[in-house]
Amino acid sequence: MALLLDAGEVTADVARIFAGAGLGSQAALIVAESLVEADRLGLASHGVMLADMYVARLRAGSVSPETAPAVISDNGTNIVLDGRNGFGVLTADRAMERAVDRARELGAGIVAVRHAFHFGAARRFALAAAERGCLGIAMCNTRPLMPAPGGAERVVGNNPIAIAMPTADATPFVLDMATSEAAMGKIRMAAKSGGKIPATWAVRADGSPTTDPAEAIKGMLLPTAGPKGFGLALMIDLLCGVLSGGAVGQEVQPLYGDPSRPYDCSHLFIAVDVGRFVDPADAANRVRDAAQRIRSGARAPGAERLYTPGEPEWRRREDLGSQVAVEPSVQDALARLADALNVELTTIGKSIA
């Protein structure tokens, strides 16, 4: 059962781990905060459980402590960056910031990134644009994890996409989804806990159904909505990789593979200034009104509440307040990692010692 800890203290502990592994203190804090924020939203597959793998890659050299991407080309609305294998969240924060700056100047900004690393939950970057009055879209590609419909080999990643719009509502309006039925991180968590997974999440290596997470990890994820999810995943792969001049498909390396070999994924960030089309306040009010209509709609039997995209995660964060839920197994892994780095923690692992 997950234990509730102070989110600020957990963030500080995780930042100490990254700093102990060689990342600069400010960068370490940003990476740690992004992981803890994912846990606060209930997105544990993108939370502090990733720290172990992140540190392994940092120490092996496939993730660079370099925090600034390099500009490959800048053509006004369109920018291509080289992520230089830095931490994905650091690269993505800067990329979306550039996209929004161009959107405010020119109406739209599109930033493609090659030689990038895992950036965590995509909603962070889409919302960063929405908070500055822009439609925000963030996406990235991954190593192939899913088959084509009817196929029995991995041909495309479960490539995530997030879309956010400015709203006058107190609750952010954001779609954040992987293109598989479930993230691989959720399956890895099930494997660690000894649990089963739904038969709709994945198949074995031969394409047959499975509820065993260990078999799923060796096999393939299933695309959400079948051919529709597959098609969307393929388009995201090509948009990210082709526009950036970066990796697509099998050119992206396994995230949990050789830690000395760069992951080398590709990102794409789009910002559109809403005010270039309509009055921004009116647009934000209309988005709020649409959300309220959804929440007040007729409910099916057994449904207690209706939500807009991204709202359940936000409600969870509000319910937890300043706390974050961290599984004991994740705390154990972080404590062992800290010991290996000779880093002293103040919160993580203390409640289960």
Which residue bears the tokens 């969307």?
232
The segment(s) of the chain belonging to CATH 3.30.1370.60 are 70-180+223-280
The 3-state DSSP class for residue 156 equals strand
DSSP state at residue 331 = H
What band does 351 get if pLDDT is binned at 50, 70 and 90? low
Task: Please give the pLDDT value at position 194.
Answer: 85
Longest dimension (CA), the chain: 57
Q: How far is CA 309 from the centre of its chain?
A: 16
Residue 81 CB contacts under 8 Å (≥ 6 apart), including other chains: 69, 70, 71, 72, 91, 94, 95, 98, 111, 112, 113, 114, 244
Where in the chain is CATH 1.10.1530.10?
A: 3-60+322-341
Cα(170)–Cα(146) distance, integer angstroms: 36
Weakest-pLDDT range from 22-26, 134-138, 179-183, 265-269: 179-183
pLDDT tens digits, 221-280 = 999 999 999 999 999 999 999 999 999 999 999 999 999 999 999 999 999 999 999 999
Question: What's the pLDDT at 316?
Answer: 97
Residue 116 Ramachandran class (φ > 0 left, ψ -120 to 50 alpha, else beta): beta
Q: Return the CATH number of 3-60+322-341, one of 1.10.3720.10, 3.40.50.720, 3.40.1190.20, 1.10.1530.10.
A: 1.10.1530.10
Q: Report pLDDT for 307.
A: 98
Cβ atoms < 10 Å from Cβ of 108: 19
Query: CA-CA distance, 88 to 90, in Å (whole number)?
Result: 5
Our CA dihedral for 344, 345, 346, 351, rounded to 10 degrees, sits at -130
What average pLDDT does this structure show over 163-184? 96
133-138: average pLDDT: 99
Asked if residue 352 has pLDDT above 60, the reply is no
- Tell which phi-psi region holds residue 225, choosing left (phi > 0), alpha (psi between -120 and 50) or beta: left
Average pLDDT over residues 2-27: 97
- 211 vs 14: CA distance, rounded Å: 32
The pLDDT, as a whole number, for residue 214 is: 94
Reported pTM:
0.95
With a cut of 60, say whether residue 353 has pLDDT above it.
no
How many Å apart are CA 258 and CA 263, to the nearest integer?
Answer: 9
- 228 vs 157: CA distance, rounded Å: 14
d(CA 91, CA 85): 9
Residue with tokens 């800067």: 94
Task: Work out the pLDDT band at 18, boundaries 50, 70, 90.
Answer: very high
Burial class, 270, CB count within 10 angstroms (exposed 0-12 / middle 13-18 / buried 19+): buried
Question: Topology of domain 70-180+223-280, per CATH?
Answer: Ribosomal Protein S8; Chain: A, domain 1 (3.30.1370)
**pLDDT tens readout for residues 52-71:** 999 999 999 999 998 899 99
pLDDT band at 188 (very low <50, low <70, confident <90, very high): confident
Alpha carbon distance 70, 50 (integer Å): 25
User: What pLDDT does residue 172 have?
Assistant: 97
pLDDT in tens, 286-308: 999 999 999 999 999 999 999 99
Q: What is the pLDDT of residue 10?
A: 98
Identity of the amino acid at 341 = L
pLDDT in tens, 82-98: 999 999 999 999 999 99
Rg (the chain; Cα; Å): 20
Q: Span 143-163, mean pLDDT?
A: 96
Q: How far apart are CA 84 and CA 68, in angstroms?
A: 8
Angle subtended by helix axes 311-320 and 25-40, to nearest 10 = 100
